[in-house]
Chains A and B, each alone.
Chain A
């Protein structure tokens, strides 16, 4: 984009920022130069910061007429060759589901931040993790998704950069499943020097020496190369079931299976490259607490206290990636245990894939729910002691 100002990026060093601001700064550092959004509590601060910052870095910001328009604007921006992001909160995330499905099928890189608030309905404007299943299963049809779960202001910066990198690398929409807690939190952010920040761009047919006359918009590789509008490739973005050349009429079930299973497999077949988790105190543990997002902050406190005060051999795992679900990574880490505790700001959602992954490794999986507020360490500990002491 003309007028791209890299001299206006957030400076390396220590900052004191709100999570929402760190997220917008991460996007700008990652190269995002189009932001389209619609106001909604508690996500609006990301948009306001983007409105302030996009002109400064030579990018463009637009407030759209609704969340559907916002996510659709990202499609056009991405096709025109520019990294693009929107942020919303849960009701707005519901409105975006059709376009997420479309972006999966057209293999369009874009980043959506969902600053989760509790539902259903208008629910409340506090915090929650009630959209984690919608992130994976909310869109119609098959198609896997990448969803990250930040837990700090630092994560809001780092994970947003990673979200863009993953989106470009795998040519797919990526979701940053934040929570009100983290978006409104203010704490220390350390911005590394530019040389230490990895920025990934999409592979273009030009990079592979593919001439326009030989170019297949959905061919050449498991992750097809993608030119921008205006580069002479006459690229044709289609979301009907298609052949490698974009043809939609020679339909047959085999083509359908090949088309959709490639899109599924390019994510699910590379979970080890995509998914990340943190693990502590798993050696000799008899129980494990598995959590994600802001709950991992109070979760780790609870585990420490249980270990130190009551001598409970409790391990700790934090999922940094929710989807694709890191089943093999989990199985490689978790030994035979008695009880797995899963505190979540919902009534037990990620408990299900965790149970499916580890049902033969444990006696039971215990959900520790909270709605609308972050678990205190005492809430988590109380439940653990109730079950174990």
Chain B
């Protein structure tokens, strides 16, 4: 029997019991993101000589945060709602050699964790953020999120959402992340390539992956998957008239600049020998 090539990275039995059946709803995009992330990690292990124990997965709370703790045979921390990036910050400071990948969602990142999000990007800490954006709160039953389009009906916007949505990539870019990209679960090759690039990037890599929630949006998974292709436009064509109303996808920025640790280490190195001994 052929086994899936990424199964070697999953626990036989994890925090949510046996790995199959998994806890995701039918048609959910999170399993795909997990698959793409593991392909990227596998490539990094093969190509860059990294070891499995070099990777750490930190997650927050919400559907998107479950795979790290439940299924991955890696070091992981399943943290507080919104706080994954603050926890990851401490781990980077303690051991900058770790390759830290944060699994998070749009509510986790942009609402309760919004403050940590913009400051993590501003600091340009060396970590990779995979933000699965389904445009609502899935785990609690489909409430409005800061990423929900105007007018959409959710359980807490029964007459339609009145608030404008965040553009998470523009936010991350403006806040200072070195590498920012947006794709969807319908773009597997691009997502894998982008995660690899993000992990290799010395600095904050923010990768938004639009991921369908067919259950709460009460749509067919196949239709939602198709829409991720047809409702998106490459970033370089985003300003054309034909792109009106479409979601730009691609790389928003890829900047070389010192990450937090490099700048801080420069201070430590500059202190030299006996300077500062506390008498």
Contacts and interface: CB of A to CB of B under 8 A. Distances in A.
Interface string B82-105: 010011111111110110000000
A11 B23 CA distance: 56
A56 B270 CA distance: 10
Nearest to B81: A98
Interface string A43-86: 00000000011011010101011101110111111111110100
A84 B94 contact: yes
A3 interface: yes
Interface in A1-23: 1, 3, 7-11
Contacts of B75: 79, 229-230, 233-236
A93 interface: no
B77 A75 contact: yes
Interface in A225-248: 228-240, 242, 245-248
A68 B90 contact: no
B98 A230 contact: yes
A65 B116 contact: yes
A310 interface: no
Nearest to A98: B80
Band of interface residues on B: 35 or more
Given A9-B278, A238-B78, A81 B271 contact: no
B203 to A, nearest CB: 16
A34 B76 CA distance: 20
Contact of A76 (B74, B88, B268): B88
B98 A80 contact: yes
Contacts of A240: 15, 78
Contacts of B264: 55, 60
A60 B80 contact: no
A248 B77 CA distance: 14
Given A10-B278, A11-B277, A75 B79 contact: yes
B83 A60 contact: no
A102 interface: yes
Interface string B37-56: 00000000000000011101
Interface of B: 11, 13-17, 23, 52-54, 56, 58, 69, 72-80, 83, 86-95, 97-98, 115-116, 119, 264, 267-268, 271, 275-279
Interface of A: 1, 3, 7-11, 25, 33-34, 36, 52-53, 55-56, 58, 60, 62, 64-66, 68-70, 72-82, 84, 98-99, 102, 106, 228-240, 242, 245-250
18 contacts: A55-B267, A69-B89, A72-B80, A73-B90, A74-B90, A76-B91, A77-B93, A79-B87, A80-B56, A81-B95, A82-B94, A84-B90, A229-B98, A230-B53, A230-B54, A234-B74, A236-B69, A236-B78
